Amino acid sequence: MLKIRRIKELSREERDRILRRSRVDIESVLSDVRAIVAQVRERKDNALLQMLKQTNPKAGAEDIRVQEEEFREAEGLVSKELKEALREAAQNIETFHRAQLEKPFWSVEIREGILLGRVTRPIEKVGCYIPGGRAPYPSTVLMTVIPAKVAGVREIYITTPCGEDMKVNPAILYAARMAGATSVFKIGGPWGIAAFAFGTETIPKVDKIVGPGNKYVTAAKLLVFGEVDIDSPAGPSEGLILADSSANPQYLAWDLISQMEHDPEAAGILITTDETLAKEVQGLLMGLLPEIPKRDIILGAMGSYSLILIAEDIEEALDFVNGYAPEHLEIHSPNPFELLLRIQNAGSVFLGEYAPIPVGDYASGTNHVLPTGGAARAFSGLSVDSFLKRITFQYLSRGGLRSIAHGVSEMSKAEGLLCHSEAVMVRLKDEG
């Protein structure tokens, strides 16, 4: 049974536990992961091979990279329907991410003779981690590779775990080829992350690593951060549903279930001002449960961080939402846009009764690589910006330099960097 609680009756401890949810417990795996990262850094391909041989003793160096014939084979193994679905999704993702592109060059003369500006450049080499534990995730291939491609990244590599037979799921290979990935490697876990961070004989060193993964992958990303850039650390999925009495309880029940089927640690939370609706959803959910294939996972999620919360009014509900900073947020209300304007912290927001979270997971075009565990307070989801750098520049005329020379001189004296002042003054010397 999915518990129903009033927000105002939550104890401090309960509230903290819900807000904290299943943060990735990195500490417990850190020393194991550090050893793996060091191994890969030092022994490169040999370390990767040693790992591959544990599941398949016949693995050789040629098994690290997916070969051309494997892509061809995959092409034949993916159904026509799935290909069509992936193509449509890719088109929508590309359209939305193209809309994110900013002016690649702008400048402004902030005072006479001082021109400041910014040029935007794609990162050159990117590594995308595609998880393969619970299931294959071809959708994550599209969500990581397409924005990089739109940004103009020239080398986009994928790494993903392979099976005991040294094969990568065909839908992943099909999606990788379609989205324009440069190469695909069969190295999962911290090994894959370390290979991207330091490079091996077969796997190139990249400038940034993106994509979700389990706690071992996340720990490895944190350990190599600084050596390369990474996206935000990822934890179990979360969906928060904000609904008033206009909502359809049947839809809410399915949305909670579809959120909870991700993972026994996933959080599906309904917040509503309508107690009758809350009970109705609770009842419907229990009624649906017997027909659900992933019942055990859902029961797990119900027992951990999922629940139904009753808010006194919309203010209390919004406060909770912004404090929670959910990865996904659904808003069911006659005018959901009005409430959107009051959301401060969230990864992606789904407005109205016809926008269930799964449309964003797969096909509408928004990105599904989103900040979890409250990271939405400071982090954004993956976007074209994730693959761009911004370089500032300036051009000064002699008059422009003259106009700020005195200021530079005063400040450099205050900071004890006298030659900074000289470098300016030497250029104006003959002006006395």
Q: Residue 81, interface with a copy of itself (CB under 8 A)?
A: yes
Identity of the residue, 51 or 350, whose beta carbon is nearer to a copy of itself in the bound complex: 350
Binders of a copy of itself among residues 126 to 145 (CB under 8 A) are 134-139
The answer to whether the beta carbons of residues 271 and 19 sit under 8 Å apart is no
In the stretch 254-283, what mask flags binding to a copy of itself with x, by CB under 8 A? xx-xx--xx---------------------
Among 190, 233, 236, 264, binds a copy of itself (CB under 8 A): 233
Nearest to 327 by CA among 259, 273, 383: 259
Interface pick for a copy of itself out of 4, 10, 101, 114 (rule CB under 8 A)? 114
**Looking only at residues 155 through 174 of this chain, which bind a copy of itself when binding is defined by CB under 8 A?**
171
Contact pick of 51, 96, 162, 178 for a copy of itself (by CB under 8 A): 96
Least CB distance to a copy of itself at residue 67 (A) = 23
Among 207, 274, 280, 316, binds a copy of itself (CB under 8 A): 207
Q: Is 328 a catalytic residue?
A: yes
CB 203 within 8 A of CB 154: no
102 near a copy of itself (CB under 8 A): yes
Please report, as residue ranges, which positions from 352 to 411 form the binding site for a copy of itself (by CB under 8 A): 352-367, 375-381, 383, 385, 389-398, 400-401, 404, 406-411
The answer to whether residues 161 and 63 touch, using CB atoms and an 8 Å cutoff, is: no
Helices 215-224 and 27-43 sit at what angle, rounded to 10 degrees? 60
Q: Compute the least distance from the CB of residue 411 to a copy of itself, in Å.
A: 4
What is the C-alpha to C-alpha distance for residues 135 and 271, in angstroms, rounded to an integer? 30
**Residues between 285 and 304 with contacts to a copy of itself, criterion CB under 8 A:** 292-294
The residue from 97, 262, 328, 332 that is catalytic is 328
432/37 Cα distance (integer angstroms): 60
- CA 395, CA 393: separation in Å to the nearest integer? 7
- Residues near a copy of itself (CB under 8 A), total: 125
Site for a copy of itself in 403-432 (CB under 8 A): 404, 406-412, 414-424, 426-427
d(CA 157, CA 129): 9
User: Rounded to an integer, what distance in angstroms lies between the CA atom of residue 222 and that of residue 230?
Assistant: 8
* Residue 332 is among the residues annotated as catalytic for this protein: no
Residue 19 makes contact with a copy of itself by CB under 8 A: no
The distance of closest approach from Cβ of residue 274 to a copy of itself in the complex, given in angstroms and rounded to an integer, is 20
Report, as residue numbers or ranges, the catalytic residues: 327-328
